[in-house]
């Protein structure tokens, strides 16, 4: 399934500012549990943001949902007690993002669905700050000039998106020409797709919002 997600200009003034950070640290974006429960490993998130001098949002990149970060030590412990896992990194890296900074804790590959992960988070006394994302090598940057969608208003969170139609339109763009897509490409159907079997989870320590 595809999701559409706005990147605000409060912390990132341009898409290229956001991309610079993404190439270095990967992506982590805050998400509510209600939406998280609807996601599957491997879902694709298309990011939209206003470029300088444009009133419309530009669709500039996408990322697969392969990581749930921001978890507390309590949640990480519950996950490791309940599901098969493999530690992939011990953490300890200082991450400084436009929206805040933190130190990474241990990360692990877990054999559990995102819905199962969300249930563990929901039951925890200290859930942490759940975020979805991916590692730097997994992001996909669209070719410029980026497609714009004038009819899509800025909104927080994630909404389902007709990614199939978008990709077809993206493939029809001629070099050097900017495509403007009418409408909002809403996609309200629940697609019963098989997600990936595993994903990564990561704790964060000493998060400080900018």
Per-residue model confidence (pLDDT) at position 42: 96
Per-residue pLDDT of 46-97, as tens digits, reads 999 999 999 999 999 999 999 999 999 999 999 999 999 999 999 999 999 9
Percent of the chain with pLDDT over 90: 83
DSSP-derived 3-state class of residue 180: strand
Residue 39 has pLDDT above 70, yes or no: yes
Dig out the tokens for 103 from the structure.
């130190």
Please provide the average confidence, as pLDDT, over all residues in the chain: 93
Higher-pLDDT residue of 188 and 198 is 198
Higher-pLDDT residue of 59 and 190 is 59
Mean pLDDT within 130-158: 95
Per-residue model confidence (pLDDT) at position 14: 95
Residue 10 has pLDDT above 90, yes or no: no
Q: How far is CA 203 from the centre of its chain?
A: 16
Q: Distance between CA 205 and CA 117 in Å, rounded?
A: 19
Dig out the tokens for 147 from the structure.
């497609």
Per-residue model confidence (pLDDT) at position 210: 75
Residue 192 has pLDDT above 70, yes or no: no
Mean pLDDT within 157-163: 95
Q: In this structure, what are the phi and psi dihedrals at residue 164, rounded to the nearest 5 degrees? A: -60, -50
Which H/E stretch holds residue 104? strand 100-110
Higher-pLDDT residue of 99 and 109 is 109
Domain ranges of the chain: 2-209
Mean pLDDT within 155-179: 89
Per-residue model confidence (pLDDT) at position 25: 96
**Token pair 């714009």 in the structure block, residue:** 148
Mean pLDDT within 106-124: 96
Per-residue model confidence (pLDDT) at position 194: 67
Max Cα–Cα distance, the chain, nearest Å = 53
Contact 192, 43 (CB under 8 A): no
Which of 82-86, 158-162, 167-171 is the least confident region? 167-171
Nearest to 114 by CA among 158, 157, 69: 69
Mean pLDDT within 184-200: 79
DSSP 1-50: -EEEEEPPTTT-SSHHHHHHHHHHH-EEEE--HHHHTT--TT-EEEEEEE
Cα distances (Å, whole numbers) of residue 208 to 47, 94, 100, 133: 24, 12, 5, 19
Mean pLDDT within 124-149: 96
């Amino acid at each position: 399934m595809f999701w559409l997600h706005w990147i605000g200009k409060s912390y990132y003034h341009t898409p290229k500012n956001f991309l610079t950070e993404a190439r270095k640290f990967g992506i982590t974006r805050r998400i509510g549990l209600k939406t998280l429960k609807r996601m599957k490993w491997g879902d694709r998130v298309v990011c939209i943001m206003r470029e300088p001098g444009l009133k419309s949002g530009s669709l500039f990149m996408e990322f697969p949902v392969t990581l749930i970060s921001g978890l507390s030590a309590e949640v990480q412990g519950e996950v490791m007690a309940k599901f098969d896992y493999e530690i992939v990194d011990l953490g300890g890296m200082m991450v400084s993002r436009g929206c805040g900074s933190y130190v990474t804790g241990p990360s692990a590959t877990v054999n559990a669905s995102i819905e199962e992960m969300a249930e563990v988070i929901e039951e925890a006394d200290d859930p942490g700050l759940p975020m979805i994302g991916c590692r730097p090598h997994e992001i996909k940057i669209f070719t410029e000039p980026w497609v714009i969608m004038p009819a899509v208003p800025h909104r927080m969170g994630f909404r389902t998106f007709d990614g199939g139609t978008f990709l077809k339109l993206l493939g029809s763009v001629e070099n050097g020409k900017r495509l403007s897509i009418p409408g909002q490409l809403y996609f309200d159907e629940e697609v019963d797709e098989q997600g990936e079997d595993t994903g990564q989870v990561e704790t964060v320590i000493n998060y400080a919002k900018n």
